[in-house]
Structure 1
Amino acid sequence: MSRPTGTETARPTDPVGRAVPRPRHSDGTTVQRTVLPSGLRILTETVPGVRSVSFGIWARVGSRDETPAQGGATHYLEHLLFKGTSRRSALEISSAIDAVGGEMNAFTTKEFTCYYARVLDSDLPLAVDIVCDMLTGSLIPAEEVDAERDVILEEIAMTEDDPSDGVHDLFAHTLFGDSPLGRPVLGTVDTVNALTRDRIARFYRRHYDPTRLVVTVAGNAEHATVVDLVTAAFDRAGASGPGAEPVGPRSGHREVRPAGRVDIVERRTEQAHLVLGMPGVSRHDERRWALGVLSTALGGGMSSRLFQEIREKRGLAYNVYAHTSGYADCGLFGVYAGCRPDRLDQVLDICRQQLAEVAEKGLGDEEVERAIGQLAGSTVLGLEDTGSLMHRLGKSEICWGQQLSVDELLAHIAAVTPDDVRRVAREVLGQRPSLSVIGPLNDRRAARLTEAMS
């Protein structure tokens, strides 16, 4: 479930950019937030007793910000920012982090991009300097654009070779159509081949200014030290313009395609892979907490309904689960299963029956209570390292403009009632589902499957 993962509601800094004081949490951590005059936001969570620190820079740009002709530009740019600046070559960037035993990487989503490094606390100045240099001073060399194009095409091919991953891209298209949310983050072979160095450079200049960036740090680091290091790095790059306001979280409303659509891709695979689902709720919708509990009860663990009915009782599939995705203006709920092709009809029937039954009758109180406990426990256990804490800070600031403490997160989950879950089950699961399938289905089987969903 996409949900805010941070600490308290974000507050502005005072007029001279000093950090607003934050209370110390019961777990001993301290979160602080500073907004520089350039509009750059810096959030830190100091974690006593660790010797590592995770440093990240988040850009408020994702694949949904691309036009059809720019498909894959955000992800392409993510690769290219590692390819050299006026101060460092690509090899010098990677060698510097390797030399201190650190880790550095990046990822692109539909709504944001993140570049991060995890190092020893004593090597934080190095990590700040390198990542900030990449974000503010990339040269995007023409020769690297051409070389990296082949790497990205290989990444697209790798995704196509993994239908358990590709079926989720297919389902996004099934639900959202030929819209930014319905197109793959990686782009397509045609769009990636059409992207030029100039087009990518313009995309870079437009989306990577300080008002659209958020710096997050978690671990053994003092807030004032981080602010000084980041300020110096952006000043050195000439990226500290005065008097700008940060760009806030996305908002709005998006209409989702009518339900009941079926997309089938015939491919000679050993398994058939399906996603059955429907529109969910946006990440700003208060129903997201109840939908997260519902998703957990339906397909979030070994005791969940779908796991028990499909794997444990009948042995029809090895992997089956439910999931939700919440975007700024809409969302989705889906059930995934991978099974032998001759079992596809049976697995699909069980999934449809379970969704329909829960939509009509809801979940029992005991199921809801167990799901709440599971969701609460997994939430806390997922925040036990500096990388996860850094991620929580960044995603919360980019997506919600606020932070929630772990205690506040747990309170939201604990406040969900069986009636809340039954209500969201009627509203979400009561919709006509759509279906995406990748597998060895001939035309006759595909037609029969489409007819069964009508």
Structure 2
Amino acid sequence: MVNYRKFKLKNGMEVVFSDIPHREDIGIHIVCRVGSNYEIKELNGMSHFLEHMCFKGTSNRNKLKIIEDFAKIGATYNAATSDDYTTYYGISHKRYWKKLLNIILDIYLNSTFPKEEIDLERNVVIEEMNMYNNDEEHVLHSNLLEKLYGDQPAGRTILGLKRNVRRFKRDDLVEFKKKYYTPNNSFIMIIGNLENNMNDILSIIKENVSKLKRGKKNKVLTTYDKQKGIRFRFLHQYIPQSTLQFVFRAGKAENESIFKYELLSTIIGGGPNSRLYKLLREEKGLSYHSSAHLEYSADHGFMTIEVGVDNEKMLETITIVMNMLKDLKKNLISDKELKLAKKLLNTQEELLLETHEDYSNYLEKYLVYQKKIEKLPARIKKRNSVTTRQLLNLTKRFFVNSKFVFVYLGPKT
């Protein structure tokens, strides 16, 4: 069960506490509502590059001092950039909460972006790009985004363009951070064993961030999310197993049908009881890997049905998957199948809340999109209210050519 208390400071900064008394650690997360969806083409990659540069020195610490101070309290720390937000976090023993908070706030508030570090980090980020460009999953995903959304923010990668990274200057970093890293667009999560220190933590945060101006609310750049007919993307590479992706445009993060989409995804490819698993593995022995999952952002989203299959069995597999989708559009899902899908998702969600990552992910998906945080019982109630008729109606308007993108990775056939 997720428990939390949320405070909103006068300048708009939100501070959320989630006390987990049985743990010995504490995690501090600062999240900014900015990512690649907020970037014009010339700035594509800036959110990610800025995330790297915030660790390269502050007015109080150089980059090695940051590393050393985290090490002194045995902390694990990192940062991550997505299409909609950027997160900085550190996790350590509960007794080091004050030192951990000091370091995290210093990185958020006082980064200086030394010129020599910018030049060094360009190469690091470009090497990160090179690494991911050798990764089949990343290549598939980036090509999928491009085919779905084209030359607009949603169609570009989080890492950005190499030519952009090579020309970013210190003034660009300073200006971007000043515009987007504001109290009105940021929130802080403190997750773990608070040991009655909540008021002290809140007092330190207020003391450090109260001088910041509220700032304007960040606005995601609008995504054109339509197409005419089926779209195809073929990526030719000689590999022993082809990857097939059947992708359909779905709703955005703030979507009243999200529980229906999740249940549909689970029925199609959510484990051994799913239709894909039974059809492709248990009945035909065609595939080891099959899945279905959702991705959604501030104003767009999609479902990906993915299968890995022998090159010679590709056409047979495509036929099976397409027939399965036709059946879902034509016939009601059985009550038993829906009940088991609900049981799986409800149970997984209850059991997942074990780590800081689980808690932070749960809270982030509400706070990033500024939605009211729901307790697990409320989520389960909504999920359990979904009917087979509602899912049939969803499939009829969802599995259509005007929302369908097919991506293939494998040899020329």
> Do both share a fold (TM > 0.5)?
yes
Runs of at least 4 residues off by over 6 Å: 248-253
Q: Select the structure with the greater relative contact order (CA < 8 A; seq sep ≥ 6).
A: 1
Partner of 2:12, secondary structure, is coil
Which one of 428, 433, 437 corresponds to residue 398 of structure 2? Answer: 428
Q: Give how far 1:36 is off.
A: 1.2
Which one of 229, 234, 239 corresponds to residue 204 of structure 2? Answer: 229
| Structure 1 residues 101 and 364: CA distance shift in structure 2, 3 A | same
Moved more, 270-279 or 48-57: 270-279
Which one of 369, 372, 375 corresponds to residue 402 of structure 1? Answer: 372
Identity %: 24
Mapped to 2, the partners of 1:115 and 1:384 lie a distance apart of 20
Partner of 1:291, secondary structure, is helix
Mapped to 1, the partners of 2:218 and 2:58 lie a distance apart of 29
Q: Which residue of 2 aligns with 1:334?
A: 304
Q: Give how far 1:257 is off.
A: 3.0
Q: Give how far 1:254 is off.
A: 4.4
- 8 Å CA contact 1:85–1:138 kept in 2: the answer is yes
Mapped to 1, the partners of 2:58 and 2:221 lie a distance apart of 34
Partner of 2:406, secondary structure, is strand
| Structure 1: gaps of 5 or more residues | 1-26, 446-454
Q: Which residue of 1 aligns with 2:233?
A: 263
Q: Give how far 1:245 is off.
A: 7.5
Count residues in correspondence: 410
- 8 Å CA contact 2:38–2:220 kept in 1: the answer is no
Partner of 1:55, secondary structure, is strand
- 8 Å CA contact 2:182–2:215 kept in 1: the answer is no
Q: Give how far 1:305 is off.
A: 0.7
Q: Within the alignment, does 1:315 sit opposite 2:288 as a pair?
A: no
Mapped to 1, the partners of 2:365 and 2:259 lie a distance apart of 17
| Structure 1 residues 160 and 344: CA distance shift in structure 2, 3 A | farther
Q: Which residue of 1 aligns with 2:409?
A: 438
- Give me the TM-score of the superposition, normalised by structure 2: 0.93
Partner of 2:204, secondary structure, is helix
| Structure 1 residues 377 and 30: CA distance shift in structure 2, 3 A | closer
1:159-174 alignment, distance < 5 Å: 159-174=132-147
Q: Which residue of 1 aligns with 2:47?
A: 74
- 8 Å CA contact 1:175–1:259 kept in 2: the answer is no
Q: Which residue of 1 aligns with 2:119?
A: 146
Which one of 87, 97, 112 corresponds to residue 70 of structure 2? Answer: 97
Q: Which residue of 2 aligns with 1:22?
A: none
Mapped to 2, the partners of 1:192 and 1:41 lie a distance apart of 31
Q: Give how far 1:431 is off.
A: 4.1
1:99-178 alignment, distance < 5 Å: 99-178=72-151
- 8 Å CA contact 1:360–1:430 kept in 2: the answer is no
Q: Which residue of 2 aligns with 1:9?
A: none
Q: 1:187-213 deviations in whole A, cap 9, x for unaligned?
A: 133333333333233212211111111
Q: Give how far 1:151 is off.
A: 1.6
Partner of 2:155, secondary structure, is coil
- 8 Å CA contact 1:174–1:435 kept in 2: the answer is no
Which one of 273, 276, 280 corresponds to residue 303 of structure 1? Answer: 273
Q: Give how far 1:234 is off.
A: 2.8
Moved more, 313-322 or 264-273: 264-273
Moved more, 416-425 or 68-77: 416-425
Partner of 1:181, secondary structure, is helix
Q: Which residue of 2 aligns with 1:343?
A: 313
Q: Give how far 1:69 is off.
A: 1.1
| Structure 2: gaps of 5 or more residues | none
Mapped to 2, the partners of 1:359 and 1:159 lie a distance apart of 37
Mapped to 1, the partners of 2:23 and 2:219 lie a distance apart of 32
2:212 maps to a residue whose letter is S
| Structure 1 residues 382 and 246: CA distance shift in structure 2, 3 A | farther
Q: Give how far 1:321 is off.
A: 0.5
Mapped to 2, the partners of 1:145 and 1:117 lie a distance apart of 23
1:326-405 alignment, distance < 5 Å: 326-405=296-375
Which one of 260, 263, 271 corresponds to residue 290 of structure 1? Answer: 260
RMSD between aligned residues? 2.2
| Structure 1 residues 188 and 248: CA distance shift in structure 2, 3 A | closer
Q: Give how far 1:249 is off.
A: 8.5
Q: Give how far 1:229 is off.
A: 2.4
| Structure 1 residues 43 and 321: CA distance shift in structure 2, 3 A | same
Q: Which residue of 1 aligns with 2:242?
A: 272
- 8 Å CA contact 1:176–1:257 kept in 2: the answer is no
Mapped to 1, the partners of 2:175 and 2:221 lie a distance apart of 25
Partner of 2:4, secondary structure, is strand
Mapped to 2, the partners of 1:358 and 1:232 lie a distance apart of 56
Q: Which residue of 2 aligns with 1:10?
A: none
Q: Which residue of 2 aligns with 1:240?
A: 212
- 8 Å CA contact 1:249–1:400 kept in 2: the answer is no
| Structure 1 residues 324 and 310: CA distance shift in structure 2, 3 A | same
Mapped to 2, the partners of 1:418 and 1:277 lie a distance apart of 22
Q: Within the alignment, does 1:65 sit opposite 2:38 as a pair?
A: yes
1:391 maps to a residue whose letter is N
- 8 Å CA contact 1:86–1:137 kept in 2: the answer is yes
2:262 maps to a residue whose letter is G
- Give me the TM-score of the superposition, normalised by structure 1: 0.85
2:271 maps to a residue whose letter is G
Q: Give how far 1:251 is off.
A: 10
- 8 Å CA contact 1:356–1:430 kept in 2: the answer is no
| Structure 1 residues 418 and 324: CA distance shift in structure 2, 3 A | same
